[in-house]
Amino acid sequence: MGTYKFRLPDIGEGVAEAEVTAWHVKVGDRIEEDDALCDVMTDKATVDMTSPVGGTIRALHGEVGQMKAVGSVLVELEVEGEGNVADEASAAPTTVSNEAPERPTPPPAPSSAPTPTPAPASKPAAQRPAPAPTATEQACFPLAAPATRRRAAKLGIDLSKVPGTGRHGRVTPDDIENYLGGGDPRFAMRGGVDEIKIIGLRRKIAERMEETWRRIPHITYVEDFDVTAIEELREVLNRERKDGQPKLTFLPFLVRAIARTVPDFPHINAHYDDDAGVLRQHGAVHVGIAAATPAGLMVPVVRHAESLDAWQTAEEIARLSTAARDGKASREELSGSTITITSLGPIGGVVTTPIINRPETAIVGPNKIVERLERRNGEIVTRKVMSVSSSFDHRIVDGYEAAKFIQALKRLIENPALLYMD
């Protein structure tokens, strides 16, 4: 029998380390070739690690949430033959822990004086039960814990009037609640603290958000869009859609408006490499669509949005969103965006302050649609209005340019016939 050490492979794209997010085996398990060992997460995506050999698990290296360098050992297996290292059968199967070995407790120092044997005696004073307070003491100073006294004082309650149900007539928090409710129980009290280790995608999101907020000076601009005409167009198109076509939402039209507008604002469809001091302006429009998934926020990418019509854009958004929610989106589908849209969907909101998807220079966030009464040509009419939030990298985009870009989007959205005209 021999030992086979499975090391974290080079996953590519310059990845130097990965985070262990789940183990699928334990010490003592018998596995076959290609069985799942664990999941690791890089900056791009979660990757399944499978075993290249069959054997018995002898040791696991790394806990969930731990970062492992490329080339470091993840799993040791006992295999038929020589394995890929010298035989280590003498090592006891164990799970590797990052904790320091426990030091043995030294024996107590010898004492010259013999330990006296306690003689039978009455209980010490500290162990004797406290005498019950007299009726006079209870009336003058009712028993209650300090927290209960503070609660009563805050509510203006005289504790001497609250019947105590605790030991020796002590007034409890429940007694106060029952007193307030006329004897009927009110709301149940809750307690406890849950500690949840932040790992995997949630930790990656936290790290990216912190770095983005620290490195990019944001400027946020909000404008109201009259979406009455585009909502009417959307309703007509949805009534006439063919079998298999997805329902059109507002997003495909916003994607189209962005694709039409960015050629006039190339620094907004760009990546800023602040380490190198280089701005890379992209001809292609790859729109990231921020999507909420059970694992956290993901940004699947609609590639070459400039070449798609409304139906094609809707189909691609639906396909990518489903893949992201199901955890099946590929690394390529989750990277490479040049500008991002973030939307809260049916939850909506009046105004948001979106955070840029670094290294991009802009992000656009549509909010909920509300109906407003407006006076037009001497008449009161109802219009559908959406506030659109946007943030820009102020190192690259000046406030005036940010406003011009959003006003250009507004013109297209409010006049939807212009969206598909050259």
Instruction: Give the pLDDT score at 41.
Output: 85
Q: Which domain holds residue 172?
A: 139-185
Among candidate residues 79, 112, 129, the one where a domain is terminated: 79
180 and 313 share one domain: no
- Domains: count for the chain: 3
Least confident of 1-5, 306-310, 337-341, 400-404: 1-5
Indicate whether 218 belongs to any domain: yes
Q: What is the CATH number of the domain that holds 161?
A: 4.10.320.10
Indicate whether 125 belongs to any domain: no
Is 394 a known active-site residue?
yes
249 and 330 share one domain: yes
272 and 234 share one domain: yes
The residue type found at 3 is T
281 and 370 share one domain: yes
284 and 408 share one domain: yes
**Rounded Cα gap, residues 209 and 214, in angstroms:** 8
Helix pair 251-261, 399-414: axis angle to 10 deg: 130
Residue 312: pLDDT above 80? Answer: yes
Instruction: Give the pLDDT score at 263.
Output: 97
Q: pTM for the complete prediction? A: 0.65
Indicate whether 133 belongs to any domain: no
164 and 255 share one domain: no
Which one is catalytic: 61, 226, 398, 422?
398
Inter-residue long-range contacts of 374-379, CB under 8 Å, 24+ positions, other chains counted: none
SS3 content of the chain, % helix, strand, coil (to 5): 30, 25, 45
Which one is catalytic: 43, 158, 394, 422?
394
Instruction: Give the pLDDT score at 419.
Output: 93
Task: List, for residues 206-228, the tens digit of each pLDDT value.
Answer: 899 999 999 999 999 999 999 99
392 and 265 share one domain: yes
**pLDDT tier for residue 134 given thresholds of 50, 70 and 90:** low
364 and 262 share one domain: yes
Task: List, for residues 68-104, the tens digit of each pLDDT value.
Answer: 998 999 999 999 888 887 544 444 444 444 443 444 4
Looking at residues 366-392, what average pLDDT do you find?
A: 93
**Rounded Cα gap, residues 392 and 402, in angstroms:** 7
Give the distance, in angstroms, between the CA of residue 2 and the centroid of all CA atoms in the same chain.
43
Indicate whether 122 belongs to any domain: no
Q: What is the CATH number of the domain that holds 75?
A: 2.40.50.100
263 and 322 share one domain: yes
